[in-house]
Amino acid sequence: MPRPHRVLLVDDDALVRTGLRLILDSAADVEVVGEAGDGDEVITAVQAHAPDVILMDLRMARVDGIAATAAARALPNPPHVIVLTTWDVDDAVMRSLAAGAAGFLLKSAPPLDIIRAVRDVMAGDAVLSPRSTRQVLDHLSRDTAGAERQRAAEAMATLTAREGDVAIAVGHGLSNAEIARRLFVSEATVKTHLSAAQAKLGARNRVDVAVMAERAGLLR
């Protein structure tokens, strides 16, 4: 049996951490391996517990989730980060995605959605619905300068036709499984094309790929 997905909980509210632990421990393929009560504890906790995924609160007293996300993602073999927020899409969420988070979850999300989010990032998907993806891209590209658009277009032009198809589908908020069905290929093939696209674009994650496709004008 494959080992469970290892999760680190980071939130300054002990009750929130307890609730998340109860939810995640109900899934056979997920294991909560540690907790941290503030962003300044994240690096030590990652080094101690080697999580695959961090559920990261954004607003904490000493070090906020944005700085903690950037620090965690700068580590060798970094864990995926899913930020926890009380708002759908706001400036703090935008900055956390720019810092390398794989997506975000509302703290009011149903228990099954929280478990599914861990599974999704481990499968290479972003934790963003198509509606949230559109909001994120609108927010990030609103003030994009012409030079950035040109650089994005030039970068996207380096992709093969299939890599471009996958990048555009990612930009529309589709999961790997949905892309595979749309393109009539396997999920493994989608992952291969997406990995190649990320490498060529210098993208850290799916969100970066989506932003690049948006800035290049390929999603409208």
Q: What is the pLDDT of residues 124-133, one digit of tens each?
A: 877 776 666 7
Please state the pTM of the whole predicted model. Answer: 0.77
Q: Calculate the CA dihedral of residues 203, 204, 208, 212 and round it to 10 degrees.
A: -10
- Give the pLDDT mean for 12-28: 95
**Same domain, yes or no, for 122 and 158?**
no
CATH code at position 27: 3.40.50.2300
Domain final residue, candidates 93, 127, 161: 127
Shortest CA distance to 69 belongs to which of 31, 35, 95, 105?
95
Predicted confidence (pLDDT) at residue 89 exceeds the cutoff of 70:
no
Burial class of residue 12 in the structure, from the number of CB atoms within 10 Å of its CB (0-12 exposed, 13-18 middle, 19+ buried): middle
**How high is the pLDDT of residue 141?**
60
Average pLDDT score, the chain: 89
**How high is the pLDDT of residue 143?**
56
pLDDT digits (tens, 9 = 90+) for 133-181: 767 777 666 655 667 788 888 999 999 999 999 999 998 888 898 999 9
Asked whether residue 220 is assigned to any structural domain, the reply reads no
Helix (H/G/I), strand (E/B), else coil: 124: coil
Q: How many domains does one find in the chain?
A: 2
Predicted confidence (pLDDT) at residue 9 exceeds the cutoff of 80:
yes
Predicted confidence (pLDDT) at residue 57 exceeds the cutoff of 80:
yes
Q: Which range, of 63-67, 69-73, 150-154, averages the lowest pLDDT?
A: 150-154
Helix (H/G/I), strand (E/B), else coil: 144: coil
Domain final residue, candidates 127, 152, 176: 127
Predicted confidence (pLDDT) at residue 90 exceeds the cutoff of 80:
no
Shortest CA distance to 173 belongs to which of 111, 96, 89, 114?
89
**How high is the pLDDT of residue 140?**
63
In angstroms, rounded to a whole number, what is the distance separating the alpha carbons of residues 65 and 55?
10
Q: Could you list the residue range(s) of the whole structural domain that residue 168 is in?
A: 138-215
**How high is the pLDDT of residue 5?**
96
Asked whether residue 133 is assigned to any structural domain, the reply reads no
**Same domain, yes or no, for 18 and 79?**
yes
Shortest CA distance to 102 belongs to which of 90, 118, 87, 86?
118
Distance of CA 192 to the CA centre of its chain: 18
Domain final residue, candidates 127, 149, 170: 127
DSSP one-letter string for 71-110: HHHTSSSPPEEEEEESSSS-HHHHHHHHTT--EEEETT--
